[in-house]
Chains A and B, each alone.
Chain A
Amino acid sequence: MPEQQRSATSTLDTVAVAATDPDRHQPWADLGLKADEYARIREILGRRPTSSELAMYSVMWSEHCSYKSSKVHLKQFSEIPQETPAGKMLAGIGENAGVIDVGQGYAVTFKVESHNHPSYVEPYQGAATGVGGIVRDILAMGARPVAVMDPLRFGPLDAPDTHRVLPGIVAGVGGYGNCLGLPNIGGEAVFDASYAGNPLVNALCVGVLRHEDLHLAKASGVGNQVILYGARTGGDGIGGVSVLASETFDADGPAKRPSVQVGDPFMEKLLIECTLEIFAAGLVAGIQDLGGAGLSCATSELASAGDGGMHVELDRVPLRDSTLAPEEILMSESQERMMAVVEPGDVEAFMAICAKWDVEAVVVGEVTDTGRLEIDWHGERVVDVPPRTVAHEGPTYERPYARPSWQDALQADRAEDLARPASGAELLETLLRLVASPNLCDKSWITDQYDRYVRGNTVLAQPSDSGMVRIDEETNLGVAVSTDCNGRFAKLDPYAGAQLALAESYRNVATGGATPLAISDCLNFGSPEDTDVMWQFAEACRGLKDGCLELGIPVTGGNVSLYNQTGETAILPTPVVAVLGVIDDVTTRTPSGFAAAGERVFLLGETREELSGSEWANVVHGHLGGTPPRVDLAAEKALAELLAEGRGLLTSAHDLADGGLAQALVEASLHRMVGARVSVADVAGGDAFVALFSESAGRVLVTVAEGEEDRLVELAARHGVPLTALGVTGGDAVSVEGQFDAPLLEVRSAWMATIPAALA
């Protein structure tokens, strides 16, 4: 339909119209609001909302923005002391991202978020804008983004749709992140049938700032100017609002527009440099990025966090599509936009910096003392609301939850009872099969599409256990990050599964020599309207809270993604945990691969017969049942302390996780093609299969130079960490005494072939 005809037939729904036409039918249900929520909006306003107001409330009260199902469980995270092992947090939950002190006057902010559903609909743009969104969150805190990471989950590697989704998502993550000049320093790629119709794209960003540069999202100071800058606002990402538009427009409705946002990383790069220059010049009183819910979110959150009032002239917003209606402008999720609150005297300097970077900037409003968010469209008021009611006083649900009826049967079906390989030849066959399986194979087909070197500060990246970047070139201060989750463990026991994710991520950061300080989480679950899923969610939150309390590290923020399911089938509960740690001197980090022949190989930690939920059970038997490995956070803490103190002594350290000791030996050997000759006679009571394939937590494979064994024995004894001597590095095979020799060339070709072959 011709655009002119559309705008000619639209009628503006103003506050005045709402008063004279109180009973007009409104499409609240189509916008995802429940009857009681719509009634609540009418009660707040004392009248029916205008269509613009309805648009704002519907998007801000959505699950995605309001956390209405998860809030009651998330609030327990604030019971954890807001303090890290390095000191008080500078900003906590509720800000765009938490900010922690890492010493030497530096602070670090990091956060992990989901972009799951858009990435299924349009893999490239969904993943790309996921990266873009999290980077702006970090930028909005006043920090320079310094690295990204992407935990990804897909359906089976051999499923046809995975061949559509995976290359697109990986290209999108790379295409956007590479163009921003941010090194991608790690992440995950996990395959499970439950993600087939619902891949998970989680994106993490780390940023660095000086303490004094912290900026918070608030609109303070009456008379301060509200500036919208960055990309123009278009019709992308407005999905559901079309029902509003179709009411205002002719019966034919508006042109179909993509509901997935489209990213422009070049604009984002300019926005980053421009914003950092604006920060450096001291021109910002408050700032907010525009992500989900676009202007609805930015205006209402800024106003409610500040002095409580804001007046916006919406027709000043630069548009890509001049036919957009006010409702659409308020809900548009066009990317690469920021909103800043600036003192009137600083506006000129602000605009000059934007002009230098060719970034369009417009004053769209000002801070008021009315306590209301007032938005006009060509002089007519279309929004007049108390901003807190939009941003923070959305509905809260106490969703019913109950332990699933099938949970006991699932836990009774133990993988420890499955048939096992017995001979050395069978163990070797199992090892080769596992290293080539989708979850354990080489992921370089994916990670080689990401720039891991840009900015020149990457100290560790894939395939290391954690990513590590230097943040000060003079002092060599650095930070390390890891993201982890084993959804199979979480399915077997969501409380323990969440703690195992926490423990693994914590251990991975410690393995490189850093001291874990804080976590961010991305809680990916199915429908909260399913009591089974809601129980998984509640248990995972409780597990995380108890785990963080015991480890003495806070939750700095994160994200919840619900409704991840295909039909009635929910994804594996997937509480992805990102742990950030600090290392005072990155030159002392411990690498994860064997460096040279002749070094002594040891196993730290205790190996139990724990096979339920393991990759062995998954790959060999297609089995998921039993209870996950035991969680011992006190042991994890002792292990982390040992690893930090062991810097310089340890020539390598590699976490044991999926695939157990066998996989760890293979990965450590393949790093530089330095093999090892080991005996597992002293592991797990001499049961070679359990020793090699159990996935007990709290274990790390380490090496020391010949002659340094006693120092390691003393160190382990002092920290109370069990230590087992395994053997010595060298040779061109992983040789397990009395069992098998696995030639590295053969292992490597099996390990590397899987993903390229599947996607060829």
Chain B
Amino acid sequence: MKVGVVTFPGSLDDVDAQRAVRIGGHEAVALWHGDHDLRGVDAVVLPGGFSYGDYLRCGAISRFSPVMTEVVAAAERGMPVLGICNGFQILCESHLLPGALIRNTEQRFLCLDQPLRVENNRTPWTSSYDEGAEIVVALKNGEGSFVADAETLDRLEGEGQVVARYLGNPNGSLRDIAGICNERGNVVGLMPHPEHSVEDLTGTGTDGLGFFTSLAAGVFA
């Protein structure tokens, strides 16, 4: 598959996401925030970083980038979209996903090797995992605390839209939520960084690779 990785001004983990896509067996296509087309990709990753310096509010400016118009339209047609960290924040700002991400309860940036449980393996990004699989991936954020109103949280739980949960909540996320998906399941937002967990040599091991190999299964294609 061809997987696009968007670079916004201030994106940082775009090279990592491209590498993870390649290790996952796909072709990585670099997309620029100012692009008006998606260059024929089959899926899109919005990588981590501090797009637009996180000024105003994380992701609030990036959602207005030209490429996001295309990403939103493609997502609504069912294209798999994965937002990691800042990408998750952009997906929330774009209203592709509910809720918001606020400052960690400790009020500090945190970089940790974070244990997670995969709660939903029926998305195009998680089908390689067993449901309930416990994995360790890198976590690094200052504003990673997931919040939503109780009704939204209940709906996310009820509809199986909680994709991953923290084992040991590092940042105060409500109901230990580390990642969610939209109702259709094709759009996934994840605060931890599976792209840093795809090689034995670097990062936290290879537990994150499943997010990039899952695409091949084509569950939602």
Q: Which residues of A are in contact with B by a Cβ distance under 8 Å?
A: 171, 174-175, 178-181, 264-267, 269-270, 357-358, 447-459, 470, 473, 586-587
Is the CB–CB distance between A457 and B53 below 8 Å?
no
Answer whether residue B110 sits at the interface, using C-beta atoms and an 8 A cutoff.
Answer: yes
A125 to B: closest C-beta gap in Å: 15
Q: CA of A470 to CA of B19 in the docked complex: distance in angstroms?
A: 14
CB–CB A453/B138 < 8 A: yes
9 further contact pairs, Cβ within 8 A, besides A266-B54, A270-B9, A452-B111 = A266-B50, A269-B10, A448-B112, A453-B202, A453-B203, A456-B15, A456-B19, A456-B199, A457-B202
Within 8 A of A (CB), among B12-28: 12-13, 15-16, 19-20
The reply to whether the CB of B201 lies closer than 8 angstroms to some CB of chain A is yes
Number of A-B contacts (CB under 8 A): 86
Are B111 and A448 in touch, CB under 8 angstroms?
A: yes
- A453 and B139 CA atoms in complex are apart in Å by 9
CA distance A270 to B112 in the complex (A): 27
- Which residues of chain B are near A450, meaning CB under 8 Å? 109, 111
The answer to the question of B196 belonging to the interface, with a C-beta cut-off of 8 Å to chain A, is: yes
Q: Give the distance to chain B from A735, nearest Cβ to Cβ, in Å.
A: 28
Q: Does B2 sit at the interface, judged by CB under 8 A? A: no
Chain B residues near A456: list those with CB within 8 A.
15-16, 19-20, 195-196, 198-199, 202-203
B220 proximity list for chain A (CB < 8 A): none
Q: Which of A180, A181, A357, A449 contacts B108 (CB 8 A)?
A: A449
Please tell me which one of the listed residues A171, A179, A448, A459 contacts residue B53 in the complex, with CB atoms under 8 A apart.
A179
Contact assessment for A266 and B55 in the assembled complex, using a CB-CB cutoff below 8 Å: yes
Instruction: Please determine whether B109 and A174 come into contact, CB atoms closer than 8 angstroms.
Output: yes
Instruction: Report B27-43 residues with CB < 8 Å from chain A CB.
Output: none
What is the bound-complex CA distance between A456 and B53, given in angstroms? 21
Q: Which of B16, B53, B196, B201 contacts A264 (CB 8 A)?
A: B53
B194 to chain A, nearest CB (A): 11
What separation, in Å, do the CA atoms of A447 and B140 have in the docked complex?
12
Q: What 1/0 mask marks residues of chain B from 126 to 153 whose CB sits below 8 Å from any chain A CB?
A: 0000000000001010100000000000
Distance A455 CA – B195 CA, assembled complex (angstroms): 10
Residues on the A chain within 8 Å of B193, using CB: 453
Given the contacts A179-B50, A264-B53, A270-B9, A453 and B108 also touching, CB distance less than 8 Å: no
CA distance A270 to B7 in the complex (A): 12
- CB-CB under 8 A from B112, the residues of chain A are 448
Residue numbers of B with Cβ under 8 A of A are: 9-10, 12-13, 15-16, 19-20, 49-50, 52-55, 108-112, 138, 140, 142, 193, 195-196, 198-199, 201-204
Partner of B202, one of A175, A357, A459: A459
- A470→B9 CA distance, assembly (Å): 25
In the complex, the answer to whether A458 meets B12 with C-beta atoms within 8 Å is: no
Residues of chain B within 8 A (CB-CB) of A447 are 111
Q: Is the CB of A449 within 8 A of B53?
A: no
Max count, chain A CB within 10 A of own CB: residue among B19, B140, B199: B140
Q: Which of B12, B53, B108, B204 contacts A454 (CB 8 A)?
A: B12
With known contacts A448-B110, A454-B16, A470-B202, A358–B9 Cβ distance under 8 A: yes
A707 to chain B, nearest CB (A): 24
The interface residues of chain A lying within 8 Å CB-to-CB of B138 are 453
List, in ascending order, chain A residues with CB within 8 A of B54's CB: 179, 266
Contacts known (A171-B108, A470-B201); A357 close to B9, Cβ less than 8 A: yes
Report A-chain residues with C-beta under 8 Å of the C-beta of B55: 266
> When the two chains form their complex, are residues B109 and A178 in contact, meaning their CB atoms are under 8 A apart?
yes
Which one of B9, B19, B53, B111 lies within 8 Å of A265 (CB-CB)?
B53
Say how far B220's CB is from chain A's closest CB, in angstroms.
27
Which partner residue on chain B sits nearest A179 by CB separation? B50
Q: Which residues of A contact B49 (CB under 8 A)?
A: 181
CB pair B13 A266 closer than 8 Å: no
- Say whether B201 contacts A459, CB under 8 Å: yes
Counting from the closest, the 7 A-B pairs by CB-CB distance are A266-B53, A181-B12, A456-B16, A453-B196, A179-B50, A453-B138, A451-B140
The answer for the CA separation of A458 and B197 in the assembled complex, in Å, is 12
Would you call A269 and B12 a contact (CB within 8 A)? yes
Contact B16 A449 (CB under 8 A): no
A266 touches B52 (CB 8 A): yes
Tell me the complex Cα distance, A37–B138, Å.
55
Bound Cα distance from A267 to B9, whole angstroms: 9
Among residues of A, the one whose C-beta sits closest to the C-beta of B11 is A181
A152 to B16, CA, bound (A): 29
Q: Which residues of B contact A454 (CB under 8 A)?
A: 12-13, 16, 140, 196
B202 and A458 form a contact (CB under 8 A): yes
Given the complex, which residues of A lie within 8 Å of B9, measured CB to CB?
266, 269-270, 357-358
- Per the bound structure, the CA–CA distance linking A266 and B52 in Å amounts to 7
Contact status B16-A455, CB under 8 Å: yes
**CB closest residue in chain A, given B50:** A179
C-alpha gap A175/B12 in the complex (Å): 14
**Which A residues lie within 8 Å of B20 (CB)?**
456
Minimum CB–CB distance from B72 to chain A (whole Å) comes to 23
Contacts of A586 in B (CB 8 A): 201
User: In whole angstroms, what is the CA distance A264 to B52 when docked?
Assistant: 11
| In the complex, residue of chain B having the shortest beta-carbon distance to the beta carbon of A445 | B108
- Residue among A453, A458, A586 with max Cβ neighbours from chain B (10 Å): A453
Chain B residues with CB under 8 Å of A266's CB are 9-10, 50, 52-55
CA distance A249 to B74 in the complex (A): 60
Bound complex: CA A473 to CA B52 (Å):
29
Q: Chain B residues near A178 (CB, 8 Å)?
A: 50, 109, 140, 142
Chain A neighbourhood of B52, CB < 8 A? 266
CB-CB under 8 A for A181 and B13, given A457-B202, A470-B202: yes
Quote the shortest CB–CB distance from B96 to chain A (angstroms): 24
Shortest Cβ distance from residue A356 to the other chain B in the assembled complex, whole angstroms: 8
**Whole-angstrom distance between the alpha carbons of A266 and B49 in the complex?**
10
How far is it, in angstroms, between the C-alpha of A270 and the C-alpha of B9 when the chains are bound? Answer: 7
Question: Which of chain B's residues has its CB closest to A473's CB?
Answer: B19
Q: How far is the CB of B7 from chain A (nearest CB, A)?
A: 9
The residue on B at minimum CB distance from A270 is B9
Question: Assuming A456-B195, A456-B202, is B110 touching A179 (CB within 8 A)?
Answer: no
CA distance A264 to B9 in the complex (A): 13
Bound-complex Cα distance A80 to B23 (A): 45
From B10, B110, B198, B203, contact of A458 by CB (8 A): B203
Complex Cα distance, B53 from A450, in Å, reads 17
**Closest CB of chain B to A673's CB: distance in Å?**
14
Do A453 and B111 form a contact, CB below 8 Å, given A266-B52, A266-B53? yes
7 CB-based A-B contacts, threshold 8 Å: A171-B108, A179-B10, A179-B50, A266-B54, A448-B112, A449-B109, A459-B201
Q: In the complex, A405 Cα to B180 Cα: how many Å?
A: 69
Nearest-neighbour CB distance to chain A for B86, whole angstroms, equals 11
Residue among B10, B20, B52, B55 with the highest chain A CB neighbour number at 10 A = B10
Q: How far is the CB of B199 from chain A (nearest CB, A)?
A: 7
Q: In the complex, are the beta carbons of B201 and A449 less than 8 A apart?
A: no
What CA separation (Å) do A586 and B50 show in the bound complex? 29
Query: How many whole Å from A457's CB to the nearest CB in chain B?
Result: 6
Q: Which residue of B lies closest to A458 (CB)?
A: B202
Chain B residues with CB under 8 Å of A357's CB are: 9
Kindly report which residue of chain B lies nearest to residue A175, judged by CB atoms: B109
- Per the bound structure, the CA–CA distance linking A455 and B12 in Å amounts to 8
A697 to B19, CA, bound (A): 41
Residues of B within 8 A of A174 (CB): 109
Counting chain A CB atoms within 10 Å of each CB, the highest count among B16, B142, B193, B202 belongs to B202
For A265, what are the chain B residues with a Cβ–Cβ distance below 8 Å? 50, 53
Cβ distance A139 to chain B, nearest Cβ, rounded Å: 16
Q: How far, in whole Å, are A174 and B19 apart by their CA atoms in the complex?
A: 25
CA distance A202 to B65 in the complex (A): 38
Alpha-carbon separation in the docked complex, A265 to B49 (Å): 12
